[in-house]
């Protein structure tokens, strides 16, 4: 970022300047991630605990049924794997937004936001950086899961990528939108509890929706309206080389909506700045 020389009198920026900006933000996020090895380990341990312990306990409980995209009977571990991948994204999205609150308190965000490049682009770069880090974790999880007999078709690892990027952007944008409303780091934990847990549990990550419907029709509708459900289903279908068009539309729509909301919220004339000083940010 600091290496970019920008002439503020110009109205437009060259492509290379945009790329330099993207590189800077992504690299900073990657460095931050690499220097926090514990974060990587803990990000992996969380879904693996669900996979190895929770899924083992529920293996015989949930019964068997064939639902798309599966073409035959599957073990519970196989069922929850896409949900756990989405969980990695969800936690990363929230963690990334947590880091934005931290950056704002510490004053680092000022450095980012004073860049002459469009505010929306800066936020999008930040979002991409968070998603890239999250992608690494998902593929590391898939590698371990492979030894646990979660073996999608080889092509699935490739078709999964766009679904992971889109769902990662959606959850990152949601985190960003939430972070815009948080003034202090301490307030964030409560918001995470109000967002992460309801989103994760009221979705198709752990139980198929037909099973939820049997238990509670009301919860079934909540799950259907939960964008996280669609992120999970988009990932689930993509892992088997298929597209769930409804989920794709919902995730794409939500990504755009959350992103626009975040850009609006971080606009100095309307969002964050108008709320007055919070920590190091003005």
Partner 1 sequence: MWLRCLLSLGALWLTAAPASAYVAYVSNEKGNTVTVIDTDKWAVTATIKVGQRPRGIEFTRDGKFVMVAVGDDDTIQMIDTKTLQIVDTLPSGPDPELFTQDAAGKTLYVANENDNTVTVIDIAKRTRLGDIQVGVEPEGMMVSPDGKILICTSETTNMAHFIDTSTREVAANVLVDSRPRFAEFKHDGSELWVSSEIGGTVSIIDPVKHVVIGKVTFNIPGLRSEAIQPVGIGMTKDDKTAFVALGPANRVAVVDATTHAVTKYLLVGQRVWHMAFTPDEKYLMVTNGVSNDVSVIDVAAQKVLKSIQVGELPWGVTISP
Residues that bind partner 1 (CB under 8 A): 59-60, 64, 66, 71-75, 151, 153-155, 157-158, 241
Q: Which is nearer to partner 1, 65 or 193 (CB)?
A: 65
- In terms of phi and psi (left: phi > 0; alpha: psi -120 to 50; beta: otherwise), the region of 241 is left
CB of 207: closest distance to partner 1 in angstroms?
18
228: exposed, middle or buried (Cβ count in 10 Å: 0-12, 13-18, 19+):
buried
Please report how close the Cβ of residue 70 comes to partner 1 at its closest, in angstroms: 9
Residue among 61 and 114 whose Cβ is closer to partner 1: 61
DSSP 181-225: T--SGGGHHHHHHHHHHHHHHTSTTTS-HHHHHHH-HHHHHHHHH
Report, in Å, the least distance between residue 6 CB and partner 1.
Answer: 33
- Taking the complex as a whole, the smallest distance from the CB of residue 49 to partner 1 amounts, in Å, to 19
Closest separation in Å from C-beta 160 to partner 1: 12
Of the pair 241, 279, the CB lying nearest partner 1 is at 241
- Closest Cα partner for 233 from 122, 83, 117, 131? 83
Closest CA to 185 of 112, 117, 103: 103
Could you give the maximum distance between any two Cα atoms of the chain, in Å? 67
- Judged by beta carbon, residue 153 or residue 181, the one nearer partner 1 is 153
Nearest to residue 226, comparing CAs of 128, 123, 134, 90? 90
Q: Six-digit token pair at 54?
A: 């929770």
User: Closer CB to partner 1, residue 69 or residue 120?
Assistant: 69
Residues 6+ apart with CB under 8 A from 162: 238
Provide the minimum distance between the beta carbon of 244 and partner 1 in the complex, in angstroms, as a whole number.
18
Nearer to partner 1, 153 or 280 (CB): 153
């Amino acid at each position: 970022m600091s290496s970019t020389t920008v002439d503020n009198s110009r109205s437009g920026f060259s492509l290379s300047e945009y790329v330099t900006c993207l590189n800077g933000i992504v690299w900073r996020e990657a460095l931050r991630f690499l220097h926090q090895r514990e974060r990587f380990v803990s990000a992996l341990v969380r879904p693996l605990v669900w996979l190895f312990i929770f899924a083992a306990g529920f293996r015989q409980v949930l019964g068997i049924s064939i639902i798309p995209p599966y073409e035959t009977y599957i073990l519970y571990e196989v069922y929850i794997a896409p949900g756990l991948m989405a969980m990695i994204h969800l936690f990363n999205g929230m963690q990334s937004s947590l880091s934005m609150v931290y950056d704002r308190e510490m004053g680092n965000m000022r450095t980012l936001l004073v860049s002459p490049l469009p505010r929306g682009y800066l936020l999008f770069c930040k979002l991409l950086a968070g998603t890239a880090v999250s992608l690494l974790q998902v593929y590391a999880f898939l590698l371990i899961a492979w030894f646990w007999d979660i073996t999608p078709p080889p092509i699935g690892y490739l078709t999964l990528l766009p679904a992971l990027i889109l769902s990662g952007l959606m959850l990152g944008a949601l985190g960003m939108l939430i972070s815009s409303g948080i003034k202090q780091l301490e307030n964030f934990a409560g918001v995470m509890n109000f967002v992460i847990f309801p989103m994760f549990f009221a979705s198709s990550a752990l139980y198929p929706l037909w099973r939820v419907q049997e238990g509670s029709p009301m919860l079934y509708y909540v799950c259907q309206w939960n964008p996280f459900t669609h992120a999970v289903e988009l990932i689930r279908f993509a892992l088997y080389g298929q597209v769930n068009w409804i989920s794709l539309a919902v995730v794409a729509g939500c990504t755009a909506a959350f992103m626009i909301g975040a850009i609006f919220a971080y606009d100095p004339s309307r969002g964050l700045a108008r709320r007055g000083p919070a920590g190091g940010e003005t």
